[in-house]
């Protein structure tokens, strides 16, 4: 008998006659609508990320200020990122992932700019799903600086609404603040292997 059949048959005899289970989902499945954007901004800030909330028409200027503030000149730009977001940045070297950039090239970049698939207010989480303007997972991992643009209509109240909105088949990365560790005496330290700086621009 193969291990597969062995495991399956052991399971069947172990649970034979066990009662059926009823799952009650009486927990909240939608978060508060009012103040969603403010809550999201506050919660992302809690993780010591840099957060800006700006009107849509100030996005390009905010992107330009953020990049020049860091002195980021060579920036990874995933396919499908709206060109307008970078319209106000002078002398930017765009690193396109086509053909795919090597890990070393990503490591040498000054940063990466992306959009996202969703934001979760209650937990201050940004979800990337490799869609347009986000690129494959390594793009937001290897560079030391991640600038992420979230539009207000992408922000949902809580985790259940985000799960309902997302496609499980797409590779996803849920990001809540910059990379961090609490392994040393449980002191939170931001910045280990992922980007040490996360900057978020929320447009309304």
The residues that touch other proteins, with contacts defined as CB under 8 A, are: 2-4, 6-8, 10-15, 18-29, 43, 46-47, 103-104, 107, 120, 122-125, 130, 136-138, 141-142, 159-160, 163-164, 168-169, 171-187, 189, 191-195
Smallest distance, Å, CB 57 to other proteins? 31
Residue 90's closest CA among 71, 106, 114? 71
Q: Give the residue carrying structure tokens 């992306």.
A: 114
Smallest distance, Å, CB 109 to other proteins? 13
Which CB, 61 or 103, lies closer to other proteins?
Answer: 103
Which CB, 89 or 147, lies closer to other proteins?
Answer: 147
CA distances from 96 to 60, 85, 131 (A): 19, 15, 15
Smallest distance, Å, CB 74 to other proteins? 17
Which CB, 44 or 92, lies closer to other proteins?
Answer: 44
Residue 133's closest CA among 98, 179, 171, 83? 83
Cα–Cα distance for residue pair 133/79, rounded to 1 Å? 6
Which CB, 24 or 57, lies closer to other proteins?
Answer: 24
Smallest distance, Å, CB 143 to other proteins? 12
Cα–Cα distance for residue pair 176/160, rounded to 1 Å? 16
Residue 172's closest CA among 185, 182, 163? 163
């Amino acid at each position: 008998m193969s291990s597969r059949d062995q495991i399956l048959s052991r399971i069947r005899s172990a649970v034979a006659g066990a009662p059926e289970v009823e799952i009650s989902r009486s927990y909240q499945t939608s978060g508060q609508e009012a103040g969603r954007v403010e809550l999201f901004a506050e919660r992302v800030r809690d993780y010591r990320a840099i957060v800006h909330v700006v009107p849509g028409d100030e996005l390009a200027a905010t992107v330009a200020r953020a990049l020049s503030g860091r002195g980021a000149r060579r920036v990874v730009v995933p396919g499908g990122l709206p060109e307008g977001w970078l319209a106000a940045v002078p002398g930017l070297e765009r690193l396109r992932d086509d053909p795919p950039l090597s890990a070393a090239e990503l490591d040498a970049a000054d940063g990466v700019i992306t959009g996202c698939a969703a934001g979760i207010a209650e937990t201050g989480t940004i979800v990337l799903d490799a869609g347009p303007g986000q690129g494959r997972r390594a793009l937001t991992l290897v560079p030391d600086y991640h600038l992420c643009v979230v539009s207000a209509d992408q922000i949902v109240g809580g985790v259940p609404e985000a799960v309902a909105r997302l496609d499980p088949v797409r590779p996803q990365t849920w990001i809540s603040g910059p990379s961090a560790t609490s392994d040393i005496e449980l002191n939170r330290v931001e910045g280990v292997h992922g980007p040490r700086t996360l900057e978020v621009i929320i447009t309304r």
